[in-house]
Amino acid sequence: MDGDGLDRYQQKRDFTRTPEPTGGRADGDAVLRFVVQRHDARRLHYDFRLQVGDALRSFAVPRGLPDDPDLRHLAVQTEDHPLDYVAFEGVIPKGEYGAGTMTIVDRGTYRLVEPDDWPQAMIDGKIGVVLAGRRYRGEWHLVRTKRAGEEGRRQNEWLLLKIRDRYARAEDDPFPDVDLFAATEADPPTVVEPMRPATTVEPFSDADWLFEMRFTGRRVIASVAPDGVRLVAADGEDVAAALPAVVRDLGRLRAEVAVLDGVLVALDEYGRPSARAFDAALGDAPVRGQAITFQAFDLLHTDGLDLRGLPLRDRKALLRATIPALPTVCAADAVAAGGEAFCATVARAGLDAVIAKHAASRYTAGASDEWREIPVSPDEKAASMNLDAAIGRPGKRSLRHGRVRFTNLDKVFWPDTGETKGDLIAYYERIAPFLLPHLADRPLHMNRFPDGITGKNFYQRKANEQFPDWIDTVAARGDRDREAEEHPVCNSVETLLWLANLGSIDLHPWMSRRPHLEHPDFAVIDLDPKDAPFAHVIRIAKTLGTLLRAVEVPAYPKTSGASGMHIVIPLAPGYTYEQSRMFCEVLARFAVRAHREIATVERSVGSRGGKVYVDYLQNAKGQTVVPAYVVRPVPGATVSTPLAWDEVTSDLHPSQFTIHDVPARVDARGDLHRPVLEPGIDLLDAIAALQREIDTV
């Protein structure tokens, strides 16, 4: 298929119904354009389109453009599309060819390489392109498969691969989910006045803030360009000449042009940033500057995009994505939410200050209240101790937290992998700013494992005499209860850690909050595979996700942390559990109709026939569901983890998310289930829209 003009494109479409463009011509300049679009049709895929004359040569790529040179993604050439399609986003209506939602992932310009003309490339069956987009940059090749044209196979099958260049990245180091179209196209700034804290405050914790160690060293703005690197200090001095190793590594960034803010640091003999060590490193010829590293904490510009107007959390994510593993340049760590615990760690390390930065803040010149300095009192004994020893070995922690006294911290709770009760408590302390909003004001059931996951366990709902009087409780009665009982309510870190010290590995809150316990604020579909493969869970979840997007109902997937998946739907105030259950039953029965061979609503395990149980009956007063970030009593110390819909793919499995890696994931991506806490859908309107949509399928 060498390109067919637009005849096939136009024959397949009724332009009185579809909003897709009918045509469009090149504007006469020599620039060639490309676009990558996410096409949520019958099967989710990505469309990769490259300008050839007045049309776009188009390829459907189920897994999208690979960033990893070791991967080969199938790309199926489709009909040419009009040039105006580079700007098309919208919904192609049902019944039309390609029905579904089309959104732009990236667009920009490209040039052909190897060979540099399209007719020869199509004859050779090899198309080399260098993309210059916001998201996609660098070189990719399309190679016609050797089996293309064989019996039973199509001539239009290609393999898409990334060439190993500065922009390549491993599959386990994905590009962050950041809206780069919110950045402004601009030349890099020649002069930058650094942003700095305007106020000094006491230690605090807040899920909307990031916390960094204040480095002792020399702050510089690093400007990277093809013609060289500058490291400009506050006094205007360019110190790049003294730091050849840092300059070399900055030239290896995943960007040809970049501007970074950070600190040049040298460590003393105890592993701490030190002004004395920095001065010594600059003066030690002939290895002058070799002991100095650049700790970058902000990315202001990259490859033609001014990022200073983006939220800090997005700039941080892009910074980490821009810096590969390098000897002398790294992205400085930041801790989300848990400022008080982080300040305590910094003090134990013998260091004296933390910088708090609002996660949504823009980068502005000079002093800003969006940045705040937090002085801490360094532990004097740590000054002559190795940094690791001063902080303490992982798992070794204080025996108290406020009013909570911990016991048996070394007891192994997960025998297969060795995690202890102390590890469980440390995780909950670390994740508390993100977990607590999902527990707040909800009656709570505890699943207690005093001797770990292989010992006896029991559920506890009632707050008995064992509970201290400072733990909050609420009188609550479920649909099946004869009378109300005092349930614990977890609204504080102290309560969370006290419950964890009891061996409460997983916590089960209600789906409604006081004072409105009759009215759930979210609904849930629980996909329980039991003995079915998790791949079947994925198929059902994707079908439900597509349906809910079609009726404009926001839905948020997460792993259950054990073997299944939850799809959570926030509700507007005032609806009953019965209405919530009715809505979820419609969804569940649609899933079964779409996947009769793998899905069932049979509650009895013996009647499921090895199928995934699509559970809607959890939506009842007094029933509970494990919330995001709660640990599960299964091998591996896995965690119920929020997902983006793009992560719901065939290679997903709940075992990928554990107490060891979820905190770093949340630091990088934030709470993907935070929208669940906001007022949600008008349920009656959603039920009506859902019924109309299902009737047309």
DSSP structure string for 555-598: -EEEE-SSS-EEEEEEB-TT--HHHHHHHHHHHHHHHHHHTTTT
Give the per-residue pLDDT at 342. 84
Neighbours of 95 (CB within 10 A): 10
pLDDT tens column, 309-361: 999 999 999 999 999 988 889 998 888 888 888 888 888 888 889 999 999 99
Residues 338/493, Cβ–Cβ less than 8 Å: no
Residue 424's contacts (CB-CB under 8 Å, 6 or more residues apart) are 413, 500, 505, 631, 637, 659
Q: Of all residues in the chain, what percent carry a pLDDT higher than 70?
A: 93
Give the per-residue pLDDT at 680. 92
- Asked which of 238-252, 283-297, 384-398, 493-507 is least confident by mean pLDDT, the reply is 384-398
Q: How far apart are CA 216 and CA 195, in angstroms?
A: 17
List domains and CATH numbers for the chain: 7-162 (no CATH), 183-391 (3.30.470.30), 522-623+638-652+671-696 (3.90.920.10)
- Average pLDDT (445-453) is 93
Q: Where are the beta strands (DSSP E) in 226-383?
A: 228-233, 258-265, 293-302, 305-306, 329-331, 335-337, 353-358, 366-375
- Average pLDDT (580-604) is 93
Q: Quickly state the pLDDT bin for 396 (edges 50, 70, 90).
A: very low
Q: Quickly state the pLDDT bin for 149 (edges 50, 70, 90).
A: low
Pairing status of strand 412-414 against strand 419-420: antiparallel
Q: How far apart are CA 655 and CA 390, in angstroms?
A: 33
- Average pLDDT (250-267) is 94
Would the pLDDT of 256 be above 80? yes
Q: Quickly state the pLDDT bin for 79 (edges 50, 70, 90).
A: very high
Nearest-5° Cα angle at 85, 82 to 87? 150
What's the whole-number average pLDDT of the chain? 89
Give the per-residue pLDDT at 484. 86
3-state secondary structure (DSSP) of residue 438: helix
CB-side exposure of 193: number of CA atoms within 13 Å? 6
pLDDT tens column, 412-444: 899 888 888 989 999 999 999 999 999 999 999
Give the per-residue pLDDT at 173. 82
Contacts 24+ apart (CB under 8 A), 386-394: 386/270, 386/271, 387/270, 387/271, 387/272, 387/349, 387/350, 388/271, 390/270, 390/348, 390/349, 390/350, 391/345, 391/348, 391/349, 392/348, 394/426
Closest listed residue to residue 184, CA positions, set 313, 86, 87, 309? 309
Give the per-residue pLDDT at 3. 53
Q: How far apart are CA 187 and CA 190, in angstroms?
A: 9
Q: Quickly state the pLDDT bin for 286 (edges 50, 70, 90).
A: very low
Nearest-5° Cα angle at 332, 326 to 336? 140
DSSP string, 648-682: -STT--GGG-BTTTHHHHHHHH--TTGGGGS--B-
pTM: predicted TM-score of the whole model, two decimal places = 0.64
pLDDT tens column, 496-522: 999 999 999 999 999 999 999 999 999
Give the per-residue pLDDT at 693. 82
- Average pLDDT (185-195) is 95
Q: How far apart are CA 687 and CA 693, in angstroms?
A: 10
Nearest-5° Cα angle at 463, 461 to 466? 125
Closest listed residue to residue 371, CA positions, set 211, 534, 170, 140? 211
pLDDT tens column, 630-659: 999 999 999 999 999 999 998 899 999 999
Q: How far apart are CA 541 and CA 262, in angstroms?
A: 43
Torsion of CA 362, 366, 370, 375, to 10 degrees: 140
Q: Of all residues in the chain, what percent carry a pLDDT higher than 90?
A: 64
Neighbours of 140 (CB within 10 A): 24
Q: How far apart are CA 296 and CA 263, in angstroms?
A: 6
Would the pLDDT of 26 be above 80? no
Give the per-residue pLDDT at 387. 61
Per DSSP, 532 falls in state S
3-state secondary structure (DSSP) of residue 212: strand
Give the per-residue pLDDT at 594. 92
Q: How far apart are CA 627 and CA 614, in angstroms?
A: 18
Neighbours of 328 (CB within 10 A): 19
DSSP string, 181-205: GGSEE-PPPS--PPEEEEEE-----
Would the pLDDT of 114 be above 60? yes
Residue 171's contacts (CB-CB under 8 Å, 6 or more residues apart) are 66, 67, 68, 70, 71
Containing 516, the helix (H) or strand (E) segment is: none
Provide the CA 136 distance to its chain's centre, in angstroms.
Answer: 19
pLDDT tens column, 517-542: 999 999 999 999 988 999 999 999 99
Per DSSP, 176 falls in state P
Q: How far apart are CA 434 and CA 549, in angstroms?
A: 26
CB-side exposure of 69: number of CA atoms within 13 Å? 9
